Amino acid sequence: QQPVQSPQAVILREGEDAVINCSSSKALYSVHWYRQKHGEAPVFLMILLKGGEQKGHEKISASFNEKKQQSSLYLTASQLSYSGTYFCGERAGNKLTFGGGTRVLVKP
C-alpha cells in the first residue's frame, strides 16, 4: 500500500505558498521527497527522519510527524522552477514506496 498525497494538483501564482501532504498507514522510519519535471527523472529534495525533524531546500521545507504518520512539504514564495510533480516516498524496512504524486504548476 502506498502513501496518500494531497492535493492531487495545485496551481499557484509566482510568489504564492502551497502545502503538500503525505499520509501513511504504516509506522515510518523516514520520508523522502522528490520532484519530477515532465519527461525527466525524479530529483531528490530531502529526507526526513523520525523525530519531527524539519529540513529545507531553497525555499522548500518539510516536516515529519511520526505519530500522525504524516509528512508535509511547504513551497514558500514559489518560483516558476518549482513546477513539476512532487512525490513522497515512505521507508518502512529496506524499501521505499512512493505516493501517487502532486502536480504543481506555478504561473507567472
Partner 1 sequence: EAGVAQSPRYKIIEKRQSVAFWCNPISGHATLYWYQQILGQGPKLLIQFQNNGVVDDSQLPKDRFSAERLKGVDSTLKIQPAKLEDSAVYLCASSLGYEETQYFGPGTRLLVL
CB of 7 to partner 1, least distance (A): 15
Give the binding site for partner 1 (CB under 8 A): 2, 30, 32, 40-44, 47, 87, 91, 94-101
Strand 102-107 to 95-98 pairing? unpaired
Closer residue to partner 1 (CB): 2 or 65: 2
Produce one character per residue of 87-96: b if its CB has 16 or more CB atoms within 10 Å, e if not. bbbbbbeeee
CB of 82 to partner 1, least distance (A): 19
CB of 77 to partner 1, least distance (A): 25
Residues near 55 by beta carbon (within 8 Å), at least 6 away in sequence: 46, 47, 48, 61, 62
Closer residue to partner 1 (CB): 43 or 77: 43
Stated length of the chain = 108
Closer residue to partner 1 (CB): 84 or 99: 99
Strand 102-107 to 84-92 pairing? antiparallel
CB of 29 to partner 1, least distance (A): 8
